[in-house]
Amino acid sequence: MTKVTVAFNELLTQINPSESEAIYKLKTIHFKKPCIMIGVDSLTKERRLYIDITKENWPKDKMKTFPKWRGLTVKEEFHKKIGPIKEKKMLVLYQEPDQSIEIFDNVMQSVYDNIIHNLEEDLFSTLYTVLDQWKNFFMHKRDGKLTIEEQMGLFGELYFFRAWLNKFPDAPPTIMDYWKGPLMNRIDYVVAKTGVEIKTICPKIREDIRISSERQLELTPIIKNLYLYVLRVEISDTEGEDLFNILTDIINILSTRAPSTIVSLENLLLELRIIKEDYTENKFSVLEDIAYKVNGDFPKLTPNMLPKGVSYISYSVDLSHCEEFKVNSQDVYYLNNGR
């Protein structure tokens, strides 16, 4: 898979610092339909992405509907000759002056990935969807980063995700379909009436686990088998893995097994308003993983236990009283027998 930032940097190395006139450097990064090129202005270092739309025949009114925001310009241009091709109508995405290179590259990588992994889909729809996701990201961007507790929670879910990939190296990465936590499901991983709820705790913060509602540990016809997978971690600013590290590792694993799954993962992170590069400070070291079978006797509160009129509760479970419910933590990964 082409790394857009790497491709842009390769163009920059071709620029002679002594050049006094603007020379536009171009590189083709996708040769099949649609042809995709990148370009860098030798003087301003401004970046562009070109997409061949010669055969699309989009009306001008349709072109005007593409989502836009400050920092990105979207234009249709006709080029008699551009790079190795001639007589082409191109959709051009411009980096506006003084706008973040890192953000522009992330957007362009997202555009590129979504196009090449959806080649059978309508190009306009693919472009509109990914640009709309980014526009919503900037409109509703978090005022701040995830809290340390939220980072711990996400780290735990990603740790399980990666461990599953490594445990079943020859299986399709269906773990992406099982992962429900980011979608605000009450259980983090669900498949075939089995659920795994991930809890990440730091002894310096708390030893018990927090249960978010009276329904989180409820057994139902949809989830008949339920496990708690608990990670005990230490937090440091120098030792361990941060969210950027673990996400990068997952993406590298997926790149050799199912590159299209990377697009699904990155689009999900975008919906969550999470840019992995923002999370390099807090590092987590896993001390141990422990698993518990949640059955009818496991200490919990469920809706049928509450007095009439009481609802939307949260509570804590002291794991020191749950020894009899422990199971082999490695067995929990067999949500669907690795399939």
Domain boundary among 90, 120, 139: 139
Q: Are residues 187 and 223 in the same domain?
A: yes
Of residues 43, 41, 40, 38, the one with CA closest to residue 17? 43
- Looking at the domain assignment, is residue 338 inside a domain? no
Q: Are residues 207 and 288 in the same domain?
A: yes
Q: Are residues 96 and 159 in the same domain?
A: no
- Looking at the domain assignment, is residue 233 inside a domain? yes
Q: Are residues 69 and 116 in the same domain?
A: yes
Q: Are residues 208 and 110 in the same domain?
A: no
Q: Are residues 216 and 312 in the same domain?
A: yes
- Looking at the domain assignment, is residue 298 inside a domain? yes
- Looking at the domain assignment, is residue 85 inside a domain? yes
Domain boundary among 108, 139, 170: 139
The whole-number pLDDT of residue 109 equals 93
Range of the domain at 262: 148-333
Q: Which residue ranges in the chain fall short of pLDDT 70?
A: 1, 18-22, 140-143, 205, 336-339
- Looking at the domain assignment, is residue 274 inside a domain? yes
What CATH number has the domain bearing residue 87?
3.30.1460
Q: Are residues 112 and 155 in the same domain?
A: no
The whole-number pLDDT of residue 338 equals 40
Of residues 265, 326, 261, 322, the one with CA closest to residue 292? 326
- Looking at the domain assignment, is residue 101 inside a domain? yes
The whole-number pLDDT of residue 45 equals 86
- Looking at the domain assignment, is residue 281 inside a domain? yes
Peptide bond into 34 cis (omega under 30): yes
Q: Are residues 197 and 124 in the same domain?
A: no
Q: Are residues 87 and 195 in the same domain?
A: no
Number of domains in the chain: 2
- Looking at the domain assignment, is residue 124 inside a domain? yes
Domain boundary among 109, 139, 169: 139
Q: Are residues 243 and 126 in the same domain?
A: no
Q: Are residues 78 and 213 in the same domain?
A: no
Q: Are residues 135 and 175 in the same domain?
A: no
